[in-house]
Amino acid sequence: MSTIETIARGVCINNNHLLLCRSRGGGAVSYLPGGHIEFQEQARTALEREIMEELGQPSRAGRFLGCCEHTFIQKGEPHAEINLVFELDISTINTNTPPAACEAWISFFWQPLAQLEESDLQPAELRQTITQWLQNAGFATSGDLWCN
C-alpha cells in the first residue's frame, strides 16, 4: 500500500506566463513548483522552503487557492498526492530567462497562459482551473478537484 503525499505548490505568474517545472530525464510532464510538507511544517512555510532549495530565491506564499488530488503511475509504482495550491510571489525572477535550478534533477520554464490548456501540466485539471481562477477572482469548482 502506497502512502499519500502532501505537497505545497505555487502559482507564480509573471508577464502572462506561469512558472512550471519538470524532472530532467523524467518525460514531458510538467507541474507547479513546490514540494513535500514535512512533519509539523505549515504548508506556506514548506512552499517557501522548497522554492529556496530548488531556485535559491526568496518567495512569498500568498492566498490559498485550493486543493487538488492527483494519482499517477511513476516507474511502475502507484502514487497519490494531495496538492495544496497557493499564489506564489518570487520577485527576483522574470520571464526574460528560465530560472536556473539549484538542484540537478529539476528544470524550470515559463508557460504562456494563453497555451496552458494545451500544456502537459499535471494534474491535468489544473490547466483549466488555473485559467478560470485567473479570469474570475474567487472562482471555485465543485467536486473533488478544488476544496475551498
Give domain status of residue 142, yes or no: no
Number of domain units in the chain: 1
Closest CA to 47 of 39, 35, 55: 35
Q: What is the domain range of residue 96? A: 4-135
Instruction: Tell me how crowded residue 18 is: count the other CB atoms within 10 A of its CB.
Output: 25
Distance CA 6, CA 132 (A): 24
pLDDT digits (tens, 9 = 90+) for 110-145: 999 999 989 999 998 899 888 777 666 555 554 445
Give domain status of residue 146, yes or no: no
Give domain status of residue 70, yes or no: yes
Residue 87: CATH number of its domain: 3.90.79.10
pLDDT digits (tens, 9 = 90+) for 33-80: 999 999 999 999 999 999 999 999 999 999 898 888 888 887 788 889
Give domain status of residue 145, yes or no: no
Distance CA 101, CA 107 (A): 6
